[in-house]
């Protein structure tokens, strides 16, 4: 009698994190609801949107659908292949940033940061994804050389160049900071030499303190960024100028209380907070759903990062681990900065809330990054018995 009679056959399958899928879809659905809630009034009052209350919602739905399609593609595209495409992706991102200076560049709200390629595209969002892939490739190929001062500087130069282009060409300081923050965290994970990171953090903190001191005590004029620092320190003194948006956002949060006024019942979105569906959408969430609603949103992001961390820990491939760390860093940094800006913890820098704020380029490339995480997750094999 055969000994294996009745026993199943072992089969290895890829890991699929259904919890992460659920959290992503929940954030996307909630984001669409809040985009409509925050933008319906301003859209209905604007001739640019043909007085259509659902104008921004429709555009966001289209971007989300394309983004979900791109996420599925990235999920089933073997992530290791991106190592061969890392250099072309990096230079494509640089080229797109340069195109902003050409007639293809679009100016909106005083900033030239978009491209008209048949659809509106923000090159900075492309650059974030390309930089994650390129830097992960560089770190893996350099190996132990990353631990040397020369190797570390070389690895940091590639995102530094992209960040400089974003800042100089598109005048987008927030995206430049995010690119460098992602790079810093990826290098921190890859390198055991922690002293240099301590020096960088200490030096950066000292530089920020000096800039804040100069903006508040020495240079009473200066550009709009110095004005934003002064408005951050004392928003009431700039209530009709650079501090206006911050104050209105704080009013929204305060008036929402613990459980909010109710979905759709915000008063600050009625022309008081400019472009409420963009960077300041978290303040409307707190006004309509209260601090409880705002906390629930933050918990969803924590759950997302936790599920991604599980994938990063379980993958045996350094390249895959760094890709997931890069995506986690991008989402975490952007969420922290957005909430910090809305609550006036840091100066206003114009950073959107991932998956929730209005913005087609942002949601599409964030979903592509999530697809990259799913692709890494699929490489984690476990046995099942048929």
pLDDT digits (tens, 9 = 90+) for 210-261: 888 877 776 666 667 778 888 888 888 888 888 898 999 999 999 999 999 9
Task: Give the 3-state secondary structure of residue 350.
Answer: coil
pLDDT tier for residue 3 given thresholds of 50, 70 and 90: very low
The sign one gets for the Cα dihedral 104, 327, 371, 318 is positive
In angstroms, rounded to a whole number, what is the distance separating the alpha carbons of residues 186 and 135? 8
For residue 2, the model assigns a pLDDT of 45
> Which tokens in the block code for residue 142?
């350099």
In angstroms, rounded to a whole number, what is the distance separating the alpha carbons of residues 353 and 383? 38
Q: Are strands 111-116 and 120-121 parallel, antiparallel or unpaired?
A: antiparallel
Would you say how long the chain is, in residues? 386
- Of 52-61, 117-126, 207-216, 299-308, the one with minimum mean pLDDT is 207-216
Long-range contacts of 19-25 (CB under 8 A, 24+ apart): 19/303, 19/307, 20/304, 20/307, 20/308, 20/311, 20/370, 20/373, 20/374, 20/377, 21/374, 23/300, 23/303, 23/304, 23/307, 24/304, 24/355, 24/367, 24/370
Mind listing the pLDDT tens digit for each residue in 325-349? Answer: 999 999 999 999 999 999 999 888 8
Residue 114 backbone class (left: φ over 0; alpha: ψ -120 to 50; beta: rest): beta
In angstroms, rounded to a whole number, what is the distance separating the alpha carbons of residues 332 and 217? 33
For residue 1, the model assigns a pLDDT of 40
Q: Are 21 and 367 in contact (CB under 8 A)?
A: no
Write the burial class of residue 217 (CB in 10 Å: 0-12 exposed, 13-18 middle, 19+ buried): exposed
What would you report as the CA-atom Rg of the chain, rounded to the nearest whole angstrom?
A: 22
> Which tokens in the block code for residue 6?
């009745």
Mean pLDDT of 25-30: 97
pLDDT, mean over the chain: 89
In angstroms, rounded to a whole number, what is the distance separating the alpha carbons of residues 217 and 228? 14
pTM value?
0.92
Write the burial class of residue 142 (CB in 10 Å: 0-12 exposed, 13-18 middle, 19+ buried): middle
What number of H helices and E strands is found in the chain?
12, 5
> Which tokens in the block code for residue 200?
């960088």
> Which tokens in the block code for residue 213?
């001191």
Find how far residue 285's CA is from the centre of its chain.
Answer: 18
DSSP states of 232-264 as a string?
Answer: HH-GGGGTTTTTHHHHHHHHHHHHHTTT-S-TT
> Which tokens in the block code for residue 327?
């995506």
Mind listing the pLDDT tens digit for each residue in 82-119? Answer: 999 999 999 999 999 999 998 888 887 677 888 988 88
Task: Give the 3-state secondary structure of residue 269.
Answer: coil
Task: Give the 3-state secondary structure of residue 343.
Answer: coil
Give φ, ψ of 369 to 5 degrees. -65, -40
């Amino acid at each position: 009698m055969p000994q294996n009679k009745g026993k199943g056959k072992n089969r290895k399958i890829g890991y699929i994190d259904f919890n992460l899928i659920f959290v992503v879809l929940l954030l996307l659905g909630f984001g669409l609801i809040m985009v409509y809630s925050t933008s319906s009034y301003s859209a209905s009052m604007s001739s640019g949107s043909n007085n259509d209350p659902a104008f921004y919602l429709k555009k966001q739905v289209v971007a989300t659908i394309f983004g979900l399609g791109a996420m599925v593609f990235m999920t089933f595209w073997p992530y290791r292949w991106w190592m061969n495409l890392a250099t072309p992706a990096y230079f494509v991102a640089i080229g797109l940033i340069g195109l902003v200076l050409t007639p293809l560049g679009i100016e909106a709200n005083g900033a030239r940061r978009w491209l008209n390629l048949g659809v509106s595209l923000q090159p900075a969002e492309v650059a974030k994804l390309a930089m994650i892939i390129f830097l992960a490739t560089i770190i893996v190929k350099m190996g132990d050389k990353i631990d040397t001062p020369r190797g570390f500087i070389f690895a940091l130069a590639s995102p530094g160049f992209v960040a400089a282009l974003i800042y100089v060409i598109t005048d987008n300081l927030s995206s430049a900071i995010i690119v460098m923050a992602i790079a810093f965290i990826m290098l921190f994970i890859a390198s055991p030499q922690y002293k240099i990171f301590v020096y960088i953090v200490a030096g950066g903190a000292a530089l920020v303190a000096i800039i804040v001191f100069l903006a508040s005590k020495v240079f009473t004029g200066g550009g709009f960024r110095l004005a934003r620092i002064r408005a951050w320190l004392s928003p009431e003194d700039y209530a009709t100028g650079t501090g206006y948006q911050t104050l209105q956002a704080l009013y929204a949060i305060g008036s929402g209380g613990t459980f909010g006024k109710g979905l759709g019942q915000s008063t600050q979105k009625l022309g008081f907070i400019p472009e409420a569906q963009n960077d300041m959408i978290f303040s409307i969430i707190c006004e309509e759903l209260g601090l409880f609603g705002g906390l629930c949103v933050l918990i969803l992001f924590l759950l997302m990062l936790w599920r991604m961390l599980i994938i990063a820990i379980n993958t045996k491939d350094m390249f895959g681990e760094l890709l997931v760390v890069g995506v986690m860093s991008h989402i975490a940094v952007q969420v922290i900065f957005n909430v910090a800006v809305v609550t006036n913890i840091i100066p206003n820098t114009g950073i959107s809330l991932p998956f929730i704020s209005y913005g087609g380029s942002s949601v599409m490339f964030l979903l592509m990054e999530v697809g990259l995480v799913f692709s890494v997750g699929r490489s984690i094999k476990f046995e099942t018995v048929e």
